[in-house]
Structure 1
């Protein structure tokens, strides 16, 4: 079942202030996340509000799994929008109480357990070595903001969780026909 979260403010911080906020919150990053955080999209941007919602690939109707391009292109048909790339660290800060993953395997060529991938347009799809995007994961009680690499050949399983947003003109999941579990806490609940 999709999980709706309270609206959060993204942007408005300088790159240095954003990094300081991540460090102060005890958020760990990997080298791919550091590469993405160095991107110009994190140059001082005006604050905006997003209304996040998490759901699985299967809940998008892609019950056999799908490529990233299919996942991202299917979302608008469900009344969802992609998150801006810059939303990821702000989502990480808003969801520090994410449930700890069942294992601590960091990289294995598959979707990590307990992860929530931020549904955003890959920043440099023409450069294979450049990270594709971010995901959130908590490992042994430590909150991580991790970057990942993925070609469009990879098939994401139907159980993979993605974080989208409601378009600004849509108030909630109820308005688009999704039966969302309302969560007014800043805790990421695992969707079964």
Structure 2
């Protein structure tokens, strides 16, 4: 019987994507989501109506790294503070809040309820 050592970031499979964001108003971004039949729950609606949710008036690129929670060393799961702390330790940073809607537009075939990956 052999025990296989888990591969931890950065020595694990990842999906790296560059997403261009910015330059749309909140209304334009909402319209774009609606045009693609992307529905929002109450939390999404609250996010868009919050003054803290700001949109850049210039286009810029964000490089994302998609990986599994276990790829950060948490084979049994972790809390959000644990994930954020570990991600920071390995050189990953939190994405700007405005990335969320743009990233959703990038993943038009996203399975509903997908919870096995994180984007940092």
Q: How does the TM-score come out when normalised to structure 1?
A: 0.51
Runs of 4+ in 1 over 4 A off after TM superposition: none
Instruction: Tell me which of 47, 64, 72 is aligned to 2:76.
Output: 64
The aligned counterpart of 2:93 is 81
Instruction: Tell me which of 20, 25, 33 is aligned to 1:22.
Output: 33
1:167-188 deviation digits (Å, cap 9, x = unpaired):
xxxxxxxxxxxxxxxxxxxxxx
1:29 counterpart SS class:
coil
1:35-79 deviation digits (Å, cap 9, x = unpaired):
011122444423321011111111011222211011011102222
Which residues in structure 2 correspond to 1:9-158 (within 5 Å)?
9-45=20-56, 46-98=58-110, 100-101=111-112, 112=113, 114-115=114-115
Change (3 A) 1:76 1:3: same
Larger radius of gyration: 2
- The RMSD of aligned alpha carbons is 1.6
Q: Per residue, is there more helix in 1 or in 2? A: 2
In the comparison of the two structures, how many residue pairs are matched? 107
Q: How does the TM-score come out when normalised to structure 2?
A: 0.79
